[in-house]
Structure 1
Amino acid sequence: MSTSYLAHPGRVTRLRDGVVEVHPESATAAQTVWVAVYPGGEDEVAWEGLRAHPSGEGRAVVAAVPVFAYDLHLGDEVEVVATAEGPLVAVRPLLDAGRHTYRVWFPDWPDLERDERGRELQVELARFGCWFDVYSPHLVAISAEPDVAAAVADHLDEAERAGRFIYEVGRTP
């Protein structure tokens, strides 16, 4: 069995009036909570490291937008346990904050240094107040509040049909 660790390189941000705003919880999150994900099936375990805040004994609030974990969202509270090595592992969700998560994959681009597609998407979705967690120039996770989630999904669906990117939802039916 192989194991990999996928930590988020940045903070959760959004555009507000043309200015980049860092999510207050993400800016001060001092913990990392690890969530098991299975990208290659049960034989290949990966752990996604999400910024979090303690919220009580054995509890933490997620301060990241999950890129790989399903049914876990910015602001959700999870039960955590410390491993023998010390890191915290999410055991189960406790409180759903109601937000919706979307992942956007941008296909290959010849010059990643000049790739502005993620920024363009942030500009487009600024009117919805969406939060972004940029994992790489190719992959971003988006968090939308419940009242705008359907409109955000419609926008992403339309852009995907136009061939701009591939997207998926982070909630399983």
Structure 2
Amino acid sequence: MLKILKQRFDEHKSRFENLDWQEIQQRLEENPTALKALEWMEATKGEPALLGYDESKDRYIFTDFSKASPKGRVKVCYDQQARESRKKFPPETSAMELAQEHQVELLDEATYRQLQAITPVDLKTSSWLKTPEKIRDLGGAIFGDNHYECVFIYHNGADSYYSNRAFRVKVEL
């Protein structure tokens, strides 16, 4: 996994002029939980790569850079509550359950827009996003996509699921 992450880092060095790969690699090697999460992201077709560095938190942020919402994470509703509330054809799991299981975090709207500013993703797919509590309390959840060179954030019932909607995640270390 380290080899893949380094290759992706090197391919986009212009975005990381002030960052040193050796420091990032050391942080990864010291954090087996994060490395395992990144391996899961890769195995589910997320193509994880470094999004950036949050200086205020001293954290490197890795996220899914796949053009399409990760194929290995499709056909899931938003969370366990939504999944269990479906009367017919509930999915096997949900975005939030998988994220918790693999110790990753769904992208929020701000991080999703940051990713979209770097490279357009979800041109033919959509991705569940971390939903504000007030929306979730009313039964909804949000997702994003990119059409007409514009990022859109929509709402849907949290219990819905589609073959072209998955979810994007991030790992901070």
With the shorter chain as reference, the TM-score category is under 0.3
Where relative contact order (Cα < 8 A, 6+ residues apart) is larger, the structure is 2
Question: TM-score, structure 1 length as denominator?
Answer: 0.27
So what's the TM-score if we normalise by structure 2? 0.27
Q: Whose helix proportion is higher, 1 or 2?
A: 2
Q: Which has the higher strand share?
A: 1
